[in-house]
């Protein structure tokens, strides 16, 4: 039997590598050697800090999760690897899988999505975020020519920006407290602006992705008459205040939650999860998106580095484990 090392959160803000034996792949399974996996600064931070709401434990379970959110738990969902054993058509292929951080794993073939040749394996771990961005754009109803505002230039906000800027004639404005994100945002086709430039902007669609009450207030202030505000943030057990007085009702604003666990209603009759993930991997062919990856960490160093990567207020965009 082959042995595999996996990353476990043993207790709040305490991680370790565990070694376990892998079963021999069955006829509909494959053995994958991991190349890269990405750390989610949103959901994984909540899990790492022990702030996953008990009411959401079942819905938050990752497909290959082991353990529970009461700890210890093996969690993660952004793995890219190469098939070493399995069906002939997949041997040697790079694939994406919603698998926790682990150097080798066995998974059903149906859970492995081949990565297009145009998308480098190093960029492919962003597929889970790209799926969320694509779903959010569908939920928003944004279209050609719209004035679109994005609050929060993290990985998700920047991926939404990249997609929105492709809409013909769209005017995309993005704001973040980190001015260092301006160059990346503008390379994706958006205009990086200060908060004062957004109040009363009259946007057709606003995306909020800062997981803060201040960001949500700015999103509401930027929205125009009967506009839609798409809430992409995940707050976990936290409470957030929302200024729903003022012009919220008079302007007939729509505050919409968007979450990747379901395909957006406008696409659900025709789009499967697999089709959406395949499209996300295809959209990652854009070489400009390499700028979203700001750190690589050897997997052996993951337990030591994870507290720093997921510390409150930690800077940086996407962090990858290199195997």
Q: Quickly list DSSP for 173-232.
A: EEE-S-GGGHHHHHHTT-EE--GGGTTT--EEEEEE-S-SHHHHHHHHHHEEEEEEEEE-
Q: What backbone phi and psi angles, to 5 degrees, belong to 272?
A: -90, 170
Evaluate if residue 234 carries a pLDDT over 90. Answer: no
49 pLDDT exceeds 90?
yes
Which whole number is the average pLDDT over 56-72?
Answer: 95
Residue 257 pLDDT: 97
Band (50; pLDDT cuts 50, 70, 90): very high
Closest CA to 82 of 72, 95, 100: 95
Mean pLDDT of the chain: 96
DSSP 256-291: EE--TTS--TTTTTT--HHHHHHHHHHHTT-GGGGG
Of residues 309, 281, 233, the one with CA closest to residue 79:
281
Rounded average pLDDT over 300-305? 98
Cβ within 8 Å of residue 151, ≥6 positions away: 157, 174, 175, 176, 198, 206, 207, 208, 209, 210, 215, 216, 218, 219, 222
Phi, psi of 283 (to 5 degrees): -65, -20
d(Cα 181, Cα 154) in Å, to the nearest integer? 8
Helix (H, G, I), strand (E, B) or coil at 54: helix
Residue 261 Rama label (left phi>0; alpha psi -120 to 50; beta) = alpha
Which of 60, 84, 89, 57 minimizes the C-alpha distance to 70? 57
Q: Residue 236's pLDDT band (boundaries 50, 70, 90)?
A: confident
Q: 128-158 burial, b for 16+ CB within 10 Å, e for fewer?
A: bbbbbbbbbbbbbebeeebbbbbbbbbbbbb
CA 160 – CA 162 distance, rounded (Å): 5
Task: Give residue 177's pLDDT.
Answer: 95
How far apart (Å, rounded) are the C-alpha atoms in residues 38 and 2? 23
Q: Mind listing the pLDDT tens digit for each residue in 21-30?
A: 999 999 999 9
pLDDT at 76: 97
Summarised one tens digit per residue, pLDDT across range 67-100 is 999 999 999 999 999 999 999 999 999 999 999 9
Cβ 218 vs Cβ 175: under 8 Å: yes
For the beta carbon of residue 170, count every other beta carbon within 10 angstroms. 20
CA distance 93 to 78: 17
In degrees and rounded to multiples of 5, residue 98 shows phi and psi of -80, 70
Bridge partners, residue 150, by sequence: 174, 207
Q: What is the pLDDT of residues 108-157, one digit of tens each?
A: 999 999 999 999 999 999 999 999 999 999 999 999 999 999 999 999 99
pLDDT digits (tens, 9 = 90+) for 168-177: 999 999 999 9
Contact, 229 vs 255, CB < 8 A?
yes
SS3 category, 164: helix
């Amino acid at each position: 039997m082959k042995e595999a090392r996996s990353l476990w959160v043993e207790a709040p803000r305490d991680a370790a590598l565990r070694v376990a034996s892998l079963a021999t792949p069955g006829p509909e399974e494959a053995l994958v050697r991991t190349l890269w996996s990405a750390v989610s600064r949103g959901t994984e931070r909540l899990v790492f800090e022990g702030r996953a709401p008990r009411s959401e434990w079942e819905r938050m379970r990752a497909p290959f999760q082991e353990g529970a959110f009461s700890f210890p738990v093996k969690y993660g969902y952004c793995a890219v690897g190469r098939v070493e054993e399995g069906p002939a058509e997949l041997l040697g292929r790079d694939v994406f899988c919603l698998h926790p951080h682990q150097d080798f794993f066995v998974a059903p073939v149906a859970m492995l999505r081949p990565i297009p040749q145009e998308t480098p394996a190093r960029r492919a771990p962003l597929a889970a975020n790209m799926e969320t961005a694509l779903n959010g754009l569908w939920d928003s109803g944004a279209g050609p020519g719209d004035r679109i505002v994005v609050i929060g230039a993290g990985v998700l906000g920047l991926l939404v920006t990249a997609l929105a800027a492709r809409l013909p004639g769209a005017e995309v404005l993005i704001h973040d407290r980190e001015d260092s994100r301006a160059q990346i945002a503008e390379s994706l086709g958006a205009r990086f602006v200060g908060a004062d430039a957004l109040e009363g902007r009259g946007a057709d669609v606003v995306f909020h992705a800062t997981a803060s009450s201040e960001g949500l207030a700015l999103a509401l202030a930027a929205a125009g008459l009967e506009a839609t505000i798409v809430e992409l943030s995940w707050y976990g057990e936290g409470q957030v205040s929302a200024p729903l007085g003022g012009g919220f009702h008079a302007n007939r604003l729509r505050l919409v939650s968007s979450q990747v666990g379901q395909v957006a209603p406008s696409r659900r009759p025709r789009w499967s999860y697999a089709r959406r993930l395949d499209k996300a991997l295809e959209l990652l062919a854009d070489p400009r998106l390499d700028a979203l990856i700001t750190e690589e960490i050897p997997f052996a160093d993951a337990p030591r580095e994870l507290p720093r990567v997921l510390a409150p207020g930690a800077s940086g965009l996407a962090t990858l484990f290199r195997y």
